[in-house]
Structure 1
């Protein structure tokens, strides 16, 4: 199973990879996980993890700065049903907007703020 760990410029990526390694070993399911900022790599993943740490606005800016990433996530997750795990702010940016340090539009996949 190929897992893309999206790097929006924030998040404890090493901890995510360690957790995947442990879960893979415990479940006896081979996992190839890679931290990436490349939307083409995300387009090939069987599962996607979107970690985040810090402020909502900074995480959104980091994600939007990755060429084609938002569109690829929309296609893979929303249209094709590829499972996505949002961690911390990575989950929060799935909402319509964040209110930390002012109003920041999110991805709008989940109603709420």
Structure 2
């Protein structure tokens, strides 16, 4: 999966090199993507200060976490896939912020 500054996420077939799904959300300038281990989900940070959890089966947003104070530039998911963390580089000399690990289990438990 790739994301870009044109507000799109693209899901690729690594065998053929072809794009198999495309999603676009207005003002969703993608800054980072991270796979959730052993799950069909991708965590994504954006310049709109939000963190989105994408279900790759159809490339749909499964959940949007509450917006943060600054543009989120990086995210990572724990090895067990239960927690994630995000961070920013701050703004106007305020320094950076790190979002404490939060649980992904609740949202994935709602998966049909």
Question: Normalising by the residue count of structure 1, what TM-score does the alignment of the two structures yield?
Answer: 0.28
The structure with the largest helix share of the pair is: 1
